[in-house]
A and B are shown apart, each in its own frame.
Chain A
Amino acid sequence: MSNLEIGIYSFPALLILIFLRVPIGLAMFTTGFVGLWLVQGTADIALARLKSETYTTFSNYSLSIVPMFLLMGHFATLGGMSQALFKAAEGWLGHRKGGVAMAAVGACGGFGAICGSSLATAATMGRVALPELRQYGYAGGFSTATLAAGGTLGILIPPSVVLVIYAILAEQNIAKLFLAAIIPGIMAAIGYMIAISIYVRIYPERAGVRDRVPYAERFRALGAVWPVLLVFVAVVGGIYGGIFTPTEGAAVGALGTGLIAWANGGLNRSTLFESFTVTARSTAMIFFIVLGAAFYNGFLALTQVPQEMSAWVVDQGFSPWTVLIIILCFYLIFGCVMDSLSMILLTVPIFFPVISILDFGLVDLIAMQHEAAREALATVTDLAPEMRAQIEAAIAAGAEITRDMQRALDIRVTSGMANALAEERTAIWFGILVLIVVEVGLITPPVGMNLFIINALDRTTSMLETYKAVLFFVASDLIRVAILVAFPAITLFLLV
């Protein structure tokens, strides 16, 4: 068997292990280990890698964000922030038709702004909002589906653990990815609210009514959410503003929410220990998958599968859009049965090299040159009139600004710079799209972690009812993906 064949056969082998209920990290680790053994003809080299690879994987500075964000989310709950968010949203939206459900989505979005994980957002907001939804006469499946979908905002709105992992794998800037996620994240929250209003129009009997809340009380409730705003601005703003690195931002966020929780009386020895154990459990789960993926991807690199695959895609001459849509569909299908982080870790090293060399026309070199030239023309004073006329003519004709003209204007816009920018934009846009489609997987039947978590909180609602109601939210997700694919500028808007 050639190395390439070993690499290709490892895919079905890995899938069989995963479908046999082998923990995903363990399955990737084992496949990678055996694969290395086969490729190298000896287990010694794979064993030698283990002398340092577990340590270097777990000590990765950028990855240290993950436990910090998880701890931050837990502290936020202890500080009463989830409760405060829901109360404020309910005050403003609760009296509308389907309003309590909309408030739950709004609160999930707010909590997502200070929590890096979907599962934690779903579990936290589920505990806060589910009893209220049921109390005001919202149907079981509708309530659970709303919260399961709302929970995905934990990842879709930055900060986000999945984006951190993507950034590390694709070697992209975490701060820029966080920034790019903001508009699609807000679109998600609005999309879910629209799904709710359509749902209650079709099934008016499945949502109850709630009394209007006086404005004074609404403003008081809104005033109580300032810590959330403070933490979000400090963390995401601080990271993007360059005041600190993403890891530092996560540390500031964890300390800040911890102090708020302590000040509110939510943090004592027993809740602190509980925060540690809950964080520990999710962190080790995530890092074991990261380790398995590192081992498996190291093996794949040796078999040259990723290189051959991107070469193959290029040779076929598919349009970039076809390739992108096929990849996104792949994620949606696998998302029905697989968890989001595992999918990212498993596939980004394979798909990203393919996507990053495709040209989606995200950067227009001529337009960049014209913009720089126009700016320079306005300020440069000692320009020969002849040259000025030439440049203005070039701009009017939509022609290239030549090297000579650029030198005269003291600007530099080369095709190399445009290519680098295009590569970065493609990577960020693709990252956000992947983030959304893997998050859809959290709420698509049959296996959707958020569905399970919320459903477990409500013993009276059957899984099937949840499945049925969640399709409205899945539809809203699919529409949003289509919009973001068609208009990359929406995702890239805040970066320009």
Chain B
Amino acid sequence: MHRLFLTLSRVMAILGGFVLSILILIVCLSIIGRSANSFLHTDVAQSLFPGLAQWLIDAGVGAIRGDFELVEAGMAFSIFAFLPLTQVTVGHATVDIFTSWMPERALRILRALIEVLFAVVLIVIAVQLFSGMQSKIRSGQTTLLLQFPVWWAYAGSVLGAGVAAVVAVYMALARVAEATTGRSIVTDELGAEH
């Protein structure tokens, strides 16, 4: 069971990583295009190979239109896609010092309570984000430059938020089971890497 959710979270993280990589490429291509465009407009380029320079400019050599908007939309998806892995590998920052004296049993109960709270919060976040997406569908709002519907970007985020909520519910159940049975279910598998 734990393996299953771990694998699901890893797949989401890798998907988010791919989107992040694509955004990095878009930004770099945009810089190259922008520099090339500026160069083609220089007197040097215009006098050395005027025809070619103009042809390249007309062909659209320049910054990628709306790269800013693509980064924003893609980044939101990536972050939401990263969330399940942090959830399932207990990767959130905590202050442990004041609870280290607690007996193991009390700690287990505390952990279960916290994980239940986390699940509730992530469910609320996913549900509200979904309702935000619906209102963006209704309003027909688009982005400024590319003019794609804003809800497309929301839809990607809703997917990530949904998986995060599901994983959080699993973690809450697992922690509650640990608290009631005393068994260890959640293993900190990626913890050693970081």
Are chains A and B touching in the complex at the 8 Å CB cutoff?
yes
Q: Is B170 an interface residue (CB 8 A)?
A: no
B10 → A minimal CB distance (Å):
6
B161–A54 CB distance below 8 A:
yes
Q: Is B194 an interface residue (CB 8 A)?
A: yes
Q: Is B183 an interface residue (CB 8 A)?
A: no
Question: What are the residues of chain B within 8 A of A342 when measuring CB–CB?
Answer: 93
Question: What are the residues of chain B within 8 A of A29 when measuring CB–CB?
Answer: 121
A59–B153 CB distance below 8 A:
yes
Considering only CB atoms, which chain A residue lies closest to B125 in the complex?
A54
Q: Is A68 an interface residue (CB 8 A)?
A: yes
Q: Is B24 an interface residue (CB 8 A)?
A: yes
B121–A244 CB distance below 8 A:
no
B110–A21 CB distance below 8 A:
yes
Contact of A279 among B20, B80, B110, B129 (CB under 8 A): B20
Known: A284-B85, A288-B83. A278 touches B129 (CB 8 A): no
User: Which residues of chain A from 21 to 67 have a CB within 8 Å of any chain B CB?
Assistant: 21-26, 29-30, 47-48, 50-52, 54-55, 58-61, 63-64, 67
A276–B18 CB distance below 8 A:
yes
B22 → A minimal CB distance (Å):
11
Fill in one digit per residue for A4-33: 1 if any B CB lies within 8 Å of its CB, else 0. Answer: 000000000000001111111110011000
Fill in one digit per residue for B1-40: 1 if any A CB lies within 8 Å of its CB, else 0. Answer: 0000000001001101110100111011011000000000
Q: Is A189 an interface residue (CB 8 A)?
A: no
Q: Is A419 an interface residue (CB 8 A)?
A: no
User: Which residues of chain A from 260 to 305 have a CB within 8 Å of any chain B CB?
Assistant: 272-285, 287-289
Q: Once the chains are docked, how many angstroms separate the CA of A289 from the CA of B83?
A: 12
Q: Once the chains are docked, how many angstroms separate the CA of A453 from the CA of B194?
A: 8
B85–A23 CB distance below 8 A:
no
Considering only CB atoms, which chain B residue lies closest to A287 in the complex?
B79
Considering only CB atoms, which chain A residue lies closest to B24 in the complex?
A251
Considering only CB atoms, which chain B residue lies closest to A273 in the complex?
B14
User: Residues on A close to B: CB < 8 A?
Assistant: 18-26, 29-30, 47-48, 50-52, 54-55, 58-61, 63-64, 67-68, 71, 119, 123, 243-244, 247-248, 251-252, 254-255, 272-285, 287-289, 337-339, 341-342, 446-447, 453, 456
Known: A23-B118, A280-B85, A281-B91. 10 other contacts (CB 8 A): A19-B98, A30-B117, A58-B75, A248-B31, A255-B25, A274-B193, A284-B79, A284-B86, A284-B91, A456-B192
Q: Could you give 14 example pairs across A and B, Cβ below 8 Å?
A: A24-B93, A25-B93, A50-B129, A60-B72, A61-B68, A248-B31, A273-B14, A278-B194, A279-B20, A279-B82, A280-B81, A284-B79, A338-B95, A456-B192
